[in-house]
A = this chain, B = another copy of it.
Amino acid sequence: MKALEEKILAEGQVYPGNVLKVGSFLNHQIDVPFMCECGKEFFSLFKDEGVNKVLTIEASGIAIAALTAQYFECPLVFAKKSKTSNVADNVYMSEVKSYTHNCVNQVIVEKAYLNPGDKVLVIDDFLAHGEALTGLFDLVRQAGAEVVGAGILIEKAFQDGGASLREQGYHIESLARVASMDAETGTVTFVK
């Protein structure tokens, strides 16, 4: 999506460790009219797949996931990060490693909100190593529901998550695919 690439070039900031800061429109302040356009794009990519539920993970995926779900006219479920390893009987739980924060989070969804027969579109802001998506897909599988695919705003295509998940057969659509980032020069290039 050309407009998203332009937005990243105009407003994104590159930091050492392959950190791309997009707090001005995505992670802290959210450019809602622009994110509506991204949501429409996800709708156009997945509209024939029978999606009846959108799933994301708190916190920065929630806005784009909600704005996307409205075009599917379906509910959104967000997986919660749990501090405790005492998980109740009424939840599905998976583990997600965070490279950014160097920790493992338990992520949970109450069983009532994911059901066999659900056709689930997973939405998230970033895809890098694929840990969050893998955890969310696992929650869907535990529920006996179906992963229709995943819509991602920004994929770090130089990391292995996207390639690995596509090899496993998942339908992953990323609106911007970063080929390289350089913190010294501040440059970002995209996959052609």
Contacts and interface: CB of A to CB of B under 8 A. Distances in A.
Given A58-B58, A76-B29, A78-B59, A24 B66 contact: no
Contacts of A75: 25, 29-32
28 contacts: A23-B110, A24-B112, A28-B77, A28-B109, A28-B110, A29-B75, A29-B112, A30-B75, A30-B76, A30-B77, A30-B78, A32-B66, A32-B69, A32-B73, A33-B70, A36-B70, A58-B58, A59-B59, A59-B62, A59-B80, A62-B63, A62-B66, A63-B63, A63-B65, A63-B78, A66-B66, A66-B67, A67-B70
Nearest to A53: B29
A28 B78 contact: yes
A29 B76 CA distance: 6
Given A59-B78, A78-B59, A113 B66 contact: no
Contacts of A66: 30, 32, 35, 62-64, 66-67
A43 to B, nearest CB: 12
A58 B58 CA distance: 9
Nearest to A25: B75
A28 to B, nearest CB: 6
Nearest to A55: B29
B58 A76 contact: no
A131 to B, nearest CB: 19
Nearest to A61: B62
A19 interface: no
A65 B63 CA distance: 8
A55 to B, nearest CB: 10
